[in-house]
Structure formats: structure tokens, C-alpha cells
A = this chain, B = another copy of it.
């Protein structure tokens, strides 16, 4: 229990996750409305859009307009996602965005072969090009991430040793390019983790790299998101990605219809009930969860927006 943090930082990913995966068209104004509403909840970081190929991700065709349109609030970092140089340049074009580089590796070769037509070795080698690109554009690189760190739909089990191999590759690349890695994000990309697995993988990374802050990116594909977050807290993890209302979903065919990222307000509910601060106004966040449902036009998976928080019942 002693490792449980006193303050947890949440990176809200709902706008990007939700806008990217929804079937129908969401008006740009409503996307902006959601980001502005999130800005008023006390969240410190919001991922707004991804700059990707609009032919492949039509829901992100208006990414630049969305970024143009929202009203930045002081103290909030607005981030974006990109997959290549073109996307990065589009992100850099807007000064509202907080741009940081990351060394991103994947712990499953089958996943890489299927999604990026690369082996693990080729993926590591390709990072040098991304690092050069970040440097050319004056982008600070202080993060690393390991995708599929807890299992993979294509490969099956991902041994802890394979995650540690990717960790070492990140740290070697960072040392070679003189980059101080402050944070490592471990992603349960396909929702394979259970709490015991979180303890094992986070424990191994923490033991080998005690100076690095660990962040968790958890998917709720099989309903384990909140339990996995709790296991992360037990291991001292104090940074989590989450999506308001449970916006988003699962892009993998094998899990069609399944939930996406762990739901922000459910996570914040648990944190506050455990006495862990987040700086977030839960009641406002629940309202934004309901707004998100209204925007996408169908029920979203989060539970607290249905069950209600407890603050009113305490008085």
C-alpha cells in the first residue's frame, strides 16, 4: 500500500479516440465543444486530434480546424498524435499544441508485421529516423513507449523478457542520441492485461529503471481496465491515459464492439474514493461524459455517469 501515489496525472484521450473511431460524421463544432468542456474539468492534459491520412481515418479530416477552434485554458497541455513526418509537421503548425517526441517500440513482432510490415529489429532501426526528424524540428524527446506490452491478438503471450528487450532498446537509443527519458508508457494495446500481469511487467520495468516514471495506457476490452489501473497504483504508477465516457473503442477485428480506453470518470471516481488527488472536478467530468454520449449519439461504456458519484449521498 505504501507505493500508492498521492496525486495521479491523467492524460485525457477521449476526443482523439472518440472522433477517430466513430462511424458517422461528428460536426467539427461538437468536437470543439467537447474539448472546451474537458478544459473546464481540471484535467491537465488533453489529446485533441490525430494528424493522420484523412483517406484512411475520415473522422480526423478536420483535425486542423478542431485545433484551430478550441479555446486553450491556461495550465492545460493540448496534445496531438501523428504517425509520420507529414503528421508531425501538421501538428507543429499550431502553437496551441504541446509537442513532445517519443521513442515508440512494440513488444510483439506479429503485431508489427501485420500493422507496419516490419520486424522488431526493423522497428528499432526505424526509430533513428524518427529521432532525427524530431531533432530537425526542435522537438524535445523525453518519453518512450512500449506497445502490446501485456499480450497480443496476433502473437498471444508477450513474455516479460520481450518487454524488457524493448525497454533496453529504448534506453540504448536514448543514450546513443543523448536523450533523457523521463517517462515510459506501457500500453495494453489489445486489452490482454489482468492485475497480476500489471504487477509483473510494471515491477520488472520499475526494478530495472527506478529513475523512470511509468505511465499506463490501458484498454478495457475485457472489463479489466479499472482493476489494472488499481494494480498500477499499487506499483506506484501515477500517470494514466483515459477517455471520458469510455469514448473510443477497439480497432481490432477480433474485438469488434468492445470498449476502448479505460473510462476517465470511472478512474477518477476510484482515485478520489481512495483519497488520491487528481485536480479534477468529478461532477463536471461526469457531465462531460454525458455530453460525449450526446455527441456520438449512443451509450458509452462508463459506469459512474450511470451509477452516479457518491458526493451527493454523503450529505
Contact surface of A with B, Cβ cutoff 8 Å: 1, 4, 151-154, 156-157, 191-192, 194-197, 199, 220-224, 226-227, 229-231, 250, 254-255, 257-259, 263, 266, 269-270, 273-275, 302-304, 306-310, 313-315
| A223 contacts B307, C-beta separation under 8 Å | yes
CB contact between A250 and one of B227, B270, B273, B307 (< 8 Å): that residue = B307
With a CB–CB cut-off of 8 A, which chain B residues contact A226?
A: 223-224, 226-227
**Copies held by the complex:** 2
| B273 contacts A194, C-beta separation under 8 Å | yes
CA distance A223 to B223 in the complex (A): 9
CB contact between A303 and one of B220, B229, B254 (< 8 Å): that residue = B220
| B314 contacts A157, C-beta separation under 8 Å | yes
| B308 contacts A255, C-beta separation under 8 Å | yes
| B255 contacts A307, C-beta separation under 8 Å | yes
Please give the distance in Å from A263's CB to the nearest CB on chain B: 7
| A230 contacts B195, C-beta separation under 8 Å | yes
Instruction: Identify which of A4, A230, A315 gathers the most chain B CB atoms within 10 Å of its CB.
Output: A230
CB contact between A307 and one of B1, B221, B231 (< 8 Å): that residue = B221
Instruction: Identify which of A152, A274, A275, A306 gathers the most chain B CB atoms within 10 Å of its CB.
Output: A306
| B302 contacts A223, C-beta separation under 8 Å | yes
Given that A196-B274, A273-B194 are known contacts, is A151 also in contact with B310, CB under 8 Å in the complex? yes
Chain B residue at minimal CB-CB distance from A273: B194
Please give the distance in Å from A16's CB to the nearest CB on chain B: 21
| A222 contacts B314, C-beta separation under 8 Å | no
CA distance A257 to B299 in the complex (A): 12
Chain B residue at minimal CB-CB distance from A274: B196
| A303 contacts B258, C-beta separation under 8 Å | yes
Please give the distance in Å from A240's CB to the nearest CB on chain B: 13
Please give the distance in Å from A239's CB to the nearest CB on chain B: 18
| A194 contacts B157, C-beta separation under 8 Å | no
Chosen A-B contacts, 9 in total, with CB atoms closer than 8 Å, are A153-B313, A195-B230, A196-B273, A220-B303, A221-B303, A222-B304, A223-B226, A223-B302, A226-B226
CB contact between A197 and one of B196, B231, B259, B273 (< 8 Å): that residue = B273
Please give the distance in Å from A275's CB to the nearest CB on chain B: 8
With a CB–CB cut-off of 8 A, which chain B residues contact A4?
A: 196
| B197 contacts A306, C-beta separation under 8 Å | no
Chain B residue at minimal CB-CB distance from A229: B227
Please give the distance in Å from A207's CB to the nearest CB on chain B: 15
| B258 contacts A307, C-beta separation under 8 Å | yes
Chain B residue at minimal CB-CB distance from A255: B307
| A223 contacts B254, C-beta separation under 8 Å | no
With a CB–CB cut-off of 8 A, which chain B residues contact A229?
A: 227
| B227 contacts A257, C-beta separation under 8 Å | no
